[in-house]
C-alpha cells in the first residue's frame, strides 16, 4: 500500500501539499510506543539536512 494512503487513508492523488508533507513526516518518524503525539515527535526531528525540515508539521498553538 502506498505510504500516503496508509498514513492518511486518502487517495494520494487527492492530497494537498500540506497533507502530503504531514504524511511523509509522520511515516518517517512517528513511533506510537514513544512519548508524544505524532506532531510533537516530528517537531523534535533533528535531521536539518532533510529538505522537509523547514516545513515539517509542528503542534498547533492553542488560541486563547
Ligand atoms: S523533516 Fe524529519 S520527520 Fe520529516 S521527513 Fe525529514 S527527516 Fe523525516
Mind listing the pLDDT tens digit for each residue in 36-58?
999 999 999 999 999 999 999 99
Cβ neighbors of 46 (< 8 A, separation 6 or more) are: none
| Domain assignment of residue 37, given as a range | 3-55
Site to probe by mutation for ligand 1, drawn from 17, 47, 55 as the one with most ligand atoms within 8 Å of Cβ, is 47
pTM: 0.84
Residue labelled with grid coordinates 523534535 = 44
Atom of ligand 1 nearest to the CA of 26: 3
Q: Residue 64 domain-assigned? A: no
Which tens digit of pLDDT belongs to each residue from 15-38? 999 999 999 999 999 999 999 999
- Cell reading at 32: 506510537
The domain tally of the chain equals 1
Of the candidate ranges 4-8, 10-14, 47-51, 53-57, the one whose mean pLDDT is the lowest: 4-8
The C-alpha cell at 55 is 516545513
**Atom number, ligand 1, closest to the C-alpha of residue 53:** 1
DSSP-assigned states of every residue in 36-63 = S-HHHHHHT---TTSTTGGG---PPPPP
Amino acid at each position: 500500500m502506498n505510504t500516503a494512503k496508509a498514513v492518511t487513508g486518502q487517495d494520494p492523488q487527492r492530497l494537498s501539499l500540506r497533507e502530503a508533507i504531514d504524511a511523509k513526516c509522520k511515516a518517517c518518524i512517528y513511533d506510537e510506543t514513544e512519548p508524544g503525539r505524532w506532531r510533537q515527535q516530528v517537531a523534535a526531528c533533528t535531521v536539518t539536512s532533510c529538505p522537509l525540515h523547514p516545513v515539517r508539521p509542528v503542534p498547533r498553538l492553542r488560541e486563547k
